[in-house]
Every structure is written in C-alpha cells, then in structure tokens.
Amino acid sequence: MGGPTYTDYLELNTLLSLQTPRSPDSAERAVLLSEQFFIVAHQSCELWLKQIISDLEAAADTLGTRAGPEAVELGAEYLARAAELLVVLYHQLTALEKLPLRHFAAFRPYLGSASGADSAQFRQLDKLLGDERRAGRLYEAFTTALDRAELPAAELCRRGPGAGAYHRVAEALLDVANAYWRWKVGHLALMTRVLGSRPGTGGTSGAPYLASRITLPFPELREARGRLHLETGEPAHGETAQAARPPRPGEPGVPGEAEGPGETEVPGDPA
C-alpha cells in the first residue's frame, strides 16, 4: 500500500524532538521529566488553540457570508467542536496540578522570560470571542446570520428549539463562552496554587493579571435570554419568598395543625 506511514504523516520524528528541557543535564531525572511534562502540556495547548481558532474563524466565515440552513448547521458543527476542545484545554490545566511544586521551583529559573502571556494565539482567541465591552468577530457574524434570516435575538430565544439550526448555533456559542471562561478560571486557580501571590514568569503581576483577563463572551445573547423571563412574568419578590419558605404551624394547609383550640383534625377520622 502506497502513501505515507503513520510516522511520516504525523511527522513524529520532528514532533517528538521538540521537547527540550532547559535544566542542566546534571539535574535530577524527576526534575527533567517534570519540565518535559510542563513543555508537553503547553505545546499541546498551543496545538489545540490552533484548531479551536481555526474552527471559530470557519464558523464566523460561514455564518457571516453564507446563507441557508446547511451553512447554519455547518457553523453549529464548528462551534460544537471548538467548545469541546476548550474543555480539553481545561482538563490539561487540571493535569498540570500534578506537577510537583519542588520540581517546578527547580526548573523555573531556566524559563527566562517565557510566559503564557506572550502567546499570540491566546490574544487571537480573546479578540475573536470579544468580551463584556466589545463584540468579537464571531458574534458579529452570528448577528449577521440572524439579520439575514430576519430573526431578532429575542425572537430566537423565544422560539427555542423551534428556531432550528439558529437555536443550535446560539446554544453552541454559549457552550464556547462558558468553556472559555472555565479555562481562564482554571488557569488562575493553577497559577495561585503554584505561585501564590508571586509575579508571573513574564514579569506580569501574576494572579491579578490573570484575573483581569477572565471574561464571559457574548453578553448580548445572555441579556436576550434573560429578558425572556420578564416577558413570561416573573413572580414578585415577596411571592417567591413566600412560596420558597416552609409553612409555619397554624397557617392554613398544614396537615395535622389545629385551626383553633379543640379543632385538631385527625386524618382518617369520620366526619
């Protein structure tokens, strides 16, 4: 059978040669393996980011320029895959919690100024998704698709699954946004676990810097969904509180409680 081998197709010889710890060869084997683990985790993150960004850009292109239900379904597929891969990124962070602190402290001086804050793909993803202050290219493409279908976001939320592929796109957008937010929070949690309040490797303030970058994309879509509760008539605050608390003794409708002196009703007694 012709064609490339598995090794050739994946360029494994090149790929597996790219993990080069900077610790001296005299370092303990455990430290060298921990640094290799650190490198593999971050290289994998960058590879997954490449796929996530490619899928989100493809979704934006499809939703923003193509018409018809097939294009909208394709956009939903891209978004669903990107959301799942953001979950993979989050679980990579939890795996990094298995990096022994003493080993990280041993090889961290050899990182120089290398820092995730320098990642061009991190910034590209942030820009693509947008935040609470500005809509990114992805959400702009979504609103273009809704305008083309003459389907306001409020009506989309009102119809729910009845809106078909547009509903699936909206749900996938929220899946992407929530997974992105969870990944950012996980990064902050990991950083404070291993560094506490110390500055980041690249000279950032550390935890405060990461906290400032935690955003929840697509606020317009969330607000449109929230307004649906007003349309359906939320109960007044007092009514909700009354319904939520358990009945007190002596109130009507409490089984076995007396309505008045000598008027206790025993369930099952004849009238």
Check: CB of residue 163 under 8 Å from CB of residue 112.
Answer: no
Q: pLDDT of 61-104, one tens digit each?
A: 999 988 788 999 999 999 999 999 999 999 999 999 999 999 99
Q: pTM score, two decimals?
A: 0.81
CB atoms within 10 A of CB 187: 20
Q: Quick check: 236 pLDDT over 50?
A: no
Average pLDDT of every residue of the chain: 85
Range with top average pLDDT, 68-72, 81-85, 212-216, 237-241? 81-85
| Fold (topology level) of 32-108+118-195+203-230 | Methane Monooxygenase Hydroxylase; Chain G, domain 1 (1.20.58)
Q: Quick check: 47 pLDDT over 90?
A: yes
How far is the CA of 154 from the CAs of 131, 164, 167, in angstroms?
20, 15, 11
Helix ranges (H only) for the chain are 6-9, 12-15, 29-65, 69-96, 101-107, 120-129, 137-148, 153-159, 165-195, 207-212, 219-232, 237-244
pLDDT class of 2 with cuts at 50, 70, 90: confident
Which pLDDT belongs to residue 235? 53
Check: CB of residue 108 under 8 Å from CB of residue 195.
Answer: no
- Max intra-chain CA distance, the chain: 96
Q: Quick check: 270 pLDDT over 70?
A: no
Which pLDDT belongs to residue 101? 94
Rounded-to-integer distance, Cα 58 and Cα 7, Å: 29
Q: Tell me, what DSSP letter sits at residue 267?
A: T
Rounded-to-integer distance, Cα 151 and Cα 203, Å: 47
Residue 130 — φ and ψ, nearest 5°?
A: 80, -175
